[in-house]
């Protein structure tokens, strides 16, 4: 296969996989399934709608799906070594072709607009395609670069972050985001 065909094939597989994600992270009514953090005593501490917290939890929830995706398609999955390294995920085919997938999330400002997304610091590896600074593999080694974007709405009702709940109360705790 040529590089264009490899890219199209990978993109198609990634889009098919991503189409299944919403039902994994959302309830039937559109609310996010995450209600808070649970400790060993089964106490639930509600979370805020802080974009960094929401983004990290979405990543954590989707990582096992990416592992299964890689296994199903005989890809090697390489995670970013550092928090600020690009990309979040590298998929390497059996013939060594590399695809970068970066996970991004943001919230809606209105029905037509969203808050900004940071797609990278277009310095270093982006300009110097052989650089290994802040990147898993040199940028020029990737056959394709993809962003998986998660857009959500902030919930109108926010849980009281000063109250500890029990696991039995999970369904009564409001979700901080919805309509992912």
pLDDT, one tens digit per residue, over 109-153 is 999 999 988 776 666 676 777 777 888 999 999 999 999 999 999
Domain boundaries, position 149: 3-178
- Mean pLDDT over each residue of the chain, to the nearest integer: 90
Question: Which residue from 34, 53, 55, 37 is spatially nearest to 45, judged by alpha carbons?
Answer: 37
Residue 2 confidence (pLDDT) above 90: no
How many whole angstroms from its chain centre is CA 125? 22
Q: How many domains does the chain have?
A: 1
Q: What is the pTM of this model?
A: 0.88
Sequence-distant (≥ 6) Cβ neighbours of residue 147 within 8 angstroms: 101, 102, 103, 104, 117, 119
CATH of the domain at 10: 3.40.600.10
């Amino acid at each position: 296969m040529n590089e264009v065909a490899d890219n199209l094939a990978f993109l198609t597989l990634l889009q098919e996989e991503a189409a299944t994600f919403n039902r994994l992270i959302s309830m039937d009514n559109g609310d996010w399934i995450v209600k808070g953090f649970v400790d060993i005593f089964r106490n639930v501490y509600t979370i805020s709608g802080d974009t960094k917290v929401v983004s990290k939890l979405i990543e954590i929830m989707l990582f096992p799906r990416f592992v299964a995706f890689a296994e199903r398609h005989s890809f090697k999955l390489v995670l970013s070594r550092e928090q600020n390294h690009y990309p979040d995920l590298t998929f390497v085919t059996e013939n060594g072709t590399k695809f970068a997938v970066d996970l991004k999330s943001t919230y809606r400002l209105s029905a037509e607009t969203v808050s900004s997304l940071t797609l990278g610091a277009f310095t270093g590896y982006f300009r110097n395609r052989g650089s290994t600074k802040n990147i898993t593999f040199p940028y020029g080694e990737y056959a394709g670069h993809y962003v998986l974007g998660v857009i959500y709405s902030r919930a109108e009702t926010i849980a009281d972050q000063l109250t500890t709940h029990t696991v039995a109360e999970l369904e009564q705790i409001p979700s901080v985001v919805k309509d992912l």
